[in-house]
Amino acid sequence: MRQPNPILPRLALRIGLAALIVGTAACGGDGGASSGATTTVTGTGVTTSSSASTSSSPATSTTLGIVDPALLAPLTGLPYTFGNDPSRPALAVKIDGAREAQPQVGLDVADIVYEEPVEGLIRYIAVFQSRDPGDVGPIRSARPMDANIIQPLNGVFVISGGIGAFVSSARKVSELLDTNAEGFFRAGDRRNPHNLLAHAAELWNQRGEKVAPTPQFVYAPANAPQPTGAPICSVDIVYNNQVKLHYDLDPTTGLWLRSINGQPHTAASGALIAPRNLIVQRVSLKATQYVDAAGTKVLETIVLGSGEAAVYTAGREIVGTWDRPDAAFGARYLDGAGSEIALRPGQTWVHLLPPGATVTVSPECAPDPPIVATSTTRPGVTTTTKKS
């Protein structure tokens, strides 16, 4: 039985003309180029003069232009662009993080990406709503923590099988689409099991009764002062010897340019993955009663409760905590004073860091990046804004 969305307001906030112009440019992409392509860094992001496709069908092309300046995407805080449907639900896709799965399809245009530790590697839950990625993948199996991660979205969840208990849990909190659904296909230029992709439009067509999600974060208003955190220019996140991430701040755009294991992390489109916000959420792991195909105990990432956190936005590091007592709502990220941390509108990556993982930052190196967009608050959450 489908779970009703506990909160169904439409997100519609007016923004000023200046913020609208900048926000339109930011919607043009937080991406970049793969090796061998010409890369240009501008105020609208990182662009490339060439692209690649692993899809069996042409990629969807989005024409820039604001649909309605009063309507902001709940998962980015940015205006929708033409060709995108504000009423569609969140489409969460379980994406392979293995080296053999690179370049992934669609990660560069996801609204939110949750990065979870899996058997010494990482996998992603990429969430799409404000932009159509065309195709997505490679798609992999469900894990024990997935249901708790996706429940606040109350949308569609796309997987490639999994242990029965994990699949059942995910089905209770989403419109679950497995490989028997329409839209899945195998990419001929990739090796199994890293070759299962799907057409996003066909997945959205199977949304059932799901509707647009509610916001998962709070976003800073236009012309807000810089957050009260330490200025930094790079972030290194080391899960283990197999997964080492590096982010460099682009001071012109305020984006975090991502590398993985010493190489720029590019998507199949040729775009460099470059989120606007990074969240590091310290979590614990719990052994389940299940084992994987290799006989290894399956571990669950614990995403309910509270713990240490850090947010990287607008070129600043804000150290604080996370708190999530109820699976129906997303985590709140709080600063040292207990106020919810406001993000800059745009793509957000949430790194679920297990014990033993390390984070290293490099201090001030660049002028403050421009502030893009407007403000929003999550339903059911009261945010205290300090005025200077």
The domain limits of the chain are 17-363
Rg (CA), the chain: 19
Q: Which CATH superfamily is domain 17-363 in?
A: YerB-like (3.50.90.10)
208, two tokens: 């059932």
Q: What is the pLDDT of residues 8-62, one digit of tens each?
A: 332 333 233 233 333 333 333 333 333 333 333 222 233 333 333 343 333 333 3
Is 378 within 8 Å of 218 (Cβ atoms)?
A: yes
Instruction: Provide the percentage of residues in the chain whose pLDDT is more than 90.
Output: 69
How far from each other are the two terminal CA atoms of the chain, in whole angstroms? Answer: 49
How far is Cα 379 from Cα 326, in angstroms, rounded to an integer? Answer: 14
How far is Cα 295 from Cα 223, in angstroms, rounded to an integer? Answer: 54
For residue 41, the model assigns a pLDDT of: 28
Give the global pTM: 0.80
Q: What is the pLDDT of residues 283-296, one digit of tens each?
A: 999 999 998 877 88
Token look-up 């982010």 returns 247
Is 334 within 8 Å of 322 (Cβ atoms)?
A: yes
How far is Cα 186 from Cα 363, in angstroms, rounded to an integer? Answer: 44
Which residue type is seen at 185?
F
